[in-house]
Structure 1
Amino acid sequence: MRYSRAWKSAWPFEIIISSMDFHKSASYLVTASDDESIRLYDVQNALCLKTINSKKYGVDLVYFTDHPSTVIYSSKNGWDESLRLLSLNDNKYLRYFKGHHDRVVSLSLCPRKECFISGSLDWTCLLWDQRAEKAQGLLRVQGRPAVSYDDQGMVFAIAFGGFIRMFDARKYEKGPFDIFPVGAFESDAHVVKFSNDGRLMLLTSKDGHVHVLDSFRGTVISTYNVKPVVSNGTLEASFSPDGMYVISGSGDGSVYAWNIRSGKVACWASTDSEPPLIKWAPGMLMFTTASSELSFWVPDLSKLGSFGALK
């Protein structure tokens, strides 16, 4: 495993990246930082193209829409919890999405339609259409929710309270069609994700558990343990493109990798105290980690014992 490129803050104080997202087809990466800024990167040419400040509202989570020039992001100011559709071309707000009354902690965009779902500390999940300011649906939860659409946009998952609830996106108002118990953890759910082929799911929690589940049966295939998160950070993990590996952050800033079949592959220590964010680049054999530093990792295909099997 090696670095291909790393960007580090040039400011006199340390900037922590709170969110990042790759565009699914263009070679762009967008990040949100605790200096209340959004940065757009050209991944192919290793360039920071633009920095947009959001001093009034703050910025926490940021995700690309289908268009590489627009993003949806959540606020981080404590007084306005609206989501915003922002044009990166001219730094203009195209739409506000108002409905939450506390911090939005999870956001997932439907890959097939102009829809998205948001989960908040107000114990609600709201379903949205990007073309309308008002929420199209509301689901109440009992705890901090983690939300995710599958790759087909037909199903979405909401995790909280030790369970993952599965919903049909076309008739979510009828309630979950299945509920999966996930061990006996009582900690907050942080991230829930589907593998690219939809067969597996990931769930991370504040207490340092990374669960891999069969997304059809709900059975727990494996559970990995890392350091718990003691800050307000998020424990994030991600499947490799072929679904055979899991890359995860840790509460002590380390990065872990596991082969789902055989167990731990590697661990890389860090001087960061925040759990790093983890994202795989679509269509590329590369993943990115982010905390105070934005780093790009490329598996070494010559070492078949580690990441040589990735596709």
Structure 2
Amino acid sequence: MAAGSATPSAAGPPTQKVSEVISSFRPSRRFRPDDSKTSVTSLDFDDSGELAIVARDDDTLHIYNCKEGKHAKELKSQKYGVHLARFSHHAQSVVYASTKVDHNLRFVSTHDNSYIRYFKGHTDTVTSISLCPSSDTFLSCSADNTVRLWTLQSGNYQGMLKLHAPYLATYDPSASVIAIASPPTHSILLYDLRNYDKPPFATFDMQALEQRFLGRAGGGWSKLEFTNDGKSLLVGTTGAGHFVLDAFSGEISHFCYRKGGPSGRAAPGEGAAGGAPTGQGDVCVSPDGKSVIGGSGEEGLLVWDISKDPAADNVLHPTTDLPGQGRAAVVGYNQRHNLIVSADKDLLLWQPDPDAML
């Protein structure tokens, strides 16, 4: 794994507001895979923010030390493949989905790459894994039309919802609500986690919004994420932009428009057209909930200021264009170290550049 020559610049002080430095982010470190055909498919950070883990479509996991700007470790999963790798709340352990042989989830120690536990039950491709922010439970979605609730302590699922094409799911920050997205039915369902076996307490119909903003070109849903205050819900797409909804009413506040088009990745649940790799969305929300950061479809990143009052047509154009090398097909914000990671084939670490600050 070859690294770029740039040295990471110092991130802003912990007390510095994200909004004050977001326009100054620049790539500080670039990592290139040994095989130029290999692509990153998922990204996650551990609780400390010190480590980032990515899955690649060559059946490997790679761990990076964000604090030191170094590639730390490579783990192989040649037999079963790997996607949607997620750090647990325990040091040096990761849950991920298989891409070959079976559809089981695997819980692995990154210390010695040994399996701790298998989670068996899904009978088709796993499309989403979401760890609970406050406990050892997690959700998985699958093309087998189920959402399953698990605990790291048992290989058997603790609960299951049977829904049509529930490809994405996420917890709200309080871990009291789960949102489940079914793109083919154009709906987002909200459940009380304590009563997940009861009907959803809210359903958001997205069909009219998709027709209005995505048009005939359309776009699959690639990401589902609450802001840290729980007030907004980001629905990332592979189309012309992303939706920011009021998490209580489902009404749209912003459509984050990008003229450069999509990243070229297939959305969860979609077939990978032309052999294009899958992904987990090329967009994320900043820790303060005021910005959406995503791929431009070309080179670099775009930033949308979602703290603005909605426009009459709800269209929000990027407020900042962050220049960078290569396309950003997977994007994540490290909330502990004020650092952004983006990846396609190469992986970039972004930090505030004092020389770029106004």
Using the size of structure 1 for normalisation, the TM-score is: 0.89
**RMSD, matched Cα:** 2.2
Q: Which runs of 5+ in 1 are unaligned?
A: none
Query: 1:208–1:250: 8 Å Cα contact kept in structure 2?
Result: no
Partner of 2:88: 65
Counterpart CA distance in 2 for 1:110 and 1:33 is 24
Query: 2:49–2:336: 8 Å Cα contact kept in structure 1?
Result: no
Partner of 2:177: 155
Counterpart CA distance in 1 for 2:289 and 2:282 is 16
Counterpart CA distance in 1 for 2:69 and 2:356 is 26
Change (3 A) 1:302 1:221: farther
Q: How many residues are treated as equivalent by the alignment?
A: 302
Of structures 1 and 2, the one scoring higher in RCO (CA 8 A, sep 6+) is: 2
Query: 2:147–2:166: 8 Å Cα contact kept in structure 1?
Result: no
Partner of 1:292: 345
Counterpart CA distance in 1 for 2:304 and 2:262 is 18
Residue 31 (structure 1) shift: 1.0
Query: 2:43–2:53: 8 Å Cα contact kept in structure 1?
Result: yes
Residue 209 (structure 1) shift: 3.2
Alignment of 1:1-311 (within 5 A): 1=24, 2-9=26-33, 11-77=34-100, 79-143=101-165, 145-160=167-182, 161-182=185-206, 183-185=208-210, 187-226=219-258, 227-228=261-262, 230-232=264-266, 233-234=278-279, 235-252=281-298, 255-260=301-306, 261=308, 263=316, 264-268=318-322, 272=326, 276-300=329-353
**Quick check: 141-150 or 115-124, which moved more?**
141-150
SS of 1:180's partner is strand
Residue 270 (structure 1) shift: 6.7
Query: 1:17–1:292: 8 Å Cα contact kept in structure 2?
Result: yes
**Structure ranking higher in strand proportion:** 1
Query: 2:283–2:293: 8 Å Cα contact kept in structure 1?
Result: yes
C-alpha deviations, 1:232-283, integer Å up to 9, x for none? 333331111111110112555653211111741123577756x511111122
Runs of 4+ in 1 over 6 A off after TM superposition: 301-304
**Quick check: 225-234 or 254-263, which moved more?**
225-234
**Structure ranking higher in helix proportion:** 2
SS of 1:148's partner is strand
Q: Which runs of 5+ in 2 are unaligned?
A: 1-23, 211-217, 267-277, 310-315
Change (3 A) 1:301 1:149: farther
